[in-house]
Structure 1
């Protein structure tokens, strides 16, 4: 495997990682900002108030986007990694 092919596979792998993590990170950001604004407005500084809704929302989004994540990973391995292994 040439150096260029290795870097191309690495680039594709990083892009798949970004695509897979984007829904979870976006929801964590939105819920965190929303809870932060709510805490600032009400002056309630409870740590579990930020943690529990964020984890709950991330679990819900993970459950909804599992098929997208699985499809993306399988497509990356079938179309990107396995042909490189077979090709030598």
Structure 2
């Protein structure tokens, strides 16, 4: 494997990692903004109020998007990594 193939594989791996992390990170962002807005409007400054809803949103989105994440990783490994290891 030469350098261009290695860098191409790394680039695709980083893209797959980005695709997989987008649903969870966007859920954390949206729930954090909503809770922050709620805290600013009501002047409630409780630390657990920011943590618990964000964690709940992350768990729900992870559970919903688990099949997408699994299929994306499996496709990447079957299409890119395994043929490069086997030398095809």
TM-score by length of 2: 0.98
Tell me by how many angstroms 1:74 deviates: 0.3
Q: RMSD between aligned alpha carbons?
A: 0.8
Q: Give the equivalent residue in structure 2 for 1:53.
A: 53
Asked if residue 34 in structure 1 is aligned to residue 40 in structure 2, the reply is no
Q: Give the equivalent residue in structure 1 for 2:86.
A: 86
Q: Deviations over 1:34-65 (max 9, x none)?
A: 00000000000000000000000100000000
Corresponding residue pairs, total: 88
CA distance in 1, matches of 2:83, 2:30: 39
Q: Give the equivalent residue in structure 1 for 2:5.
A: 5
Tell me by how many angstroms 1:72 deviates: 0.3
Gaps of 5+ in 1: none
Q: What is the correspondence of 1:66-85 to structure 2 with a 5 Å cutoff?
A: 66-85=66-85
Tell me by how many angstroms 1:86 deviates: 1.1
